[in-house]
Structure 1
């Protein structure tokens, strides 16, 4: 898997090119861990990610290791399969933060 990382001040955009599964999860976690400590927000741009499994869900909401600062995560560019997986996870696990990652949640935040 190739990964593009763009950093703009305290925000980083990470663009994985390929599927997110348990094989690619360690590389993506390493990319996040290597970000500068002052990066407070990570935008996952999934425009080049046609498929995610539960590893992708863990990547988006699991707390970071103790040596990595917590960061706000957002998701953009979701194709149909990742969007369907995220919506299903939000319905099945309402106490987790999957729903806040959905495009409709961001539209609601912008309107408020």
Structure 2
């Protein structure tokens, strides 16, 4: 089974809601990046993403956080690829004291499953 992980700092400029919350589309963009990376590594092609079977938003992502986006190849058909995605918060952004905290246990914020296609 192949897995690819990207780590990103979430800029405060990406926060659009009260409490420095980031919209769910931020996670889906990162899933696109890490999914493309997985496709290149496993098939030598960027592939085409067909859609999500499921998406679950489980915990907030905030400006100042550091997140890990992970794509894991779950199933490989002739041309289709089922990919499991997870986005975890590994460092919680600064609080009122201006300090950030590396988390002992990452927070699973978003989980998804989708299908990509490798062109013939």
**Same fold per superposition (TM over 0.5):** no
Structure whose CA Rg is larger: 2
After TM superposition, the score normalised by the length of structure 1 is 0.29
After TM superposition, the score normalised by the length of structure 2 is 0.27
Richer in strand (by share): 2
